[in-house]
Amino acid sequence: MTNENLERLIKVLDGTQFEIENRADGYVWVSLKDPWEGVEFCKSKSSDSIYLVNEVDTQNGYTPSTEESYVNQLKAKAFELYGEIKDGDSFEDWRGNKFEIYSDVFRYSKIDNRLFLDSWTIHEEGKWAKKLPKRIEVVSSCCSFENDKNNYVFNYKCKIVNADNGEDARNLGEFISDQLEKYLNDEVD
């Protein structure tokens, strides 16, 4: 085969599923490209789930996929687990570390297969961090105490701050009465 014919063959095969495997003494061996060469992610034909290639046997039931598709799958799972994610949300990872996020930006690290939210790892090796419930904060605004013949009266004004329900300024006695009523009526989670 002449160099001119070889160059034409290279152009014809470019972008196809075939490649030139070997050249020797005017002969050229053309072979089918390995579809898994350089592929790092794969998609299951049966469930459409995406995996790292090294986590599954890609010989049967899988097609090549992309890192972007894998990361989108992880993000979708995060929203399924956590619902809306916003600044100030608190989490606990599988090691018991608690953290609060200040940015709802995701970042993926292919090197160690971790998904980060803000700068915290929320997914690693199949384990997900747990989103912690919002805490209700009680902040005192004023307080008085009266003693009338062994009857003690507390007048305690406070502001109850709950990020989900806004702010509510009320008397602590009313709040405790409401909570006791809910508890006695089995309405407390």
The DSSP output letter for 54 is G
CB 93 within 8 A of CB 99: yes
Amino acid letter, 56? V
Output the average pLDDT for the chain: 80
Q: CA 55 → CA 50, 58, 62, distances in Å?
A: 10, 9, 12
**What's the predicted TM-score (pTM) here?**
0.60
Q: Taking Cα atoms as reference points, which of 162, 166, 104, 165 lies closest to residue 137?
A: 162
The token pair that represents 95 in the structure block: 């090691």
Q: Is the pLDDT of residue 169 over 60?
A: no
Terminal-residue alpha carbon distance, the chain: 81
pLDDT in tens, 81-136: 999 998 889 999 999 999 999 999 999 999 999 999 999 999 998 999 999 987 66
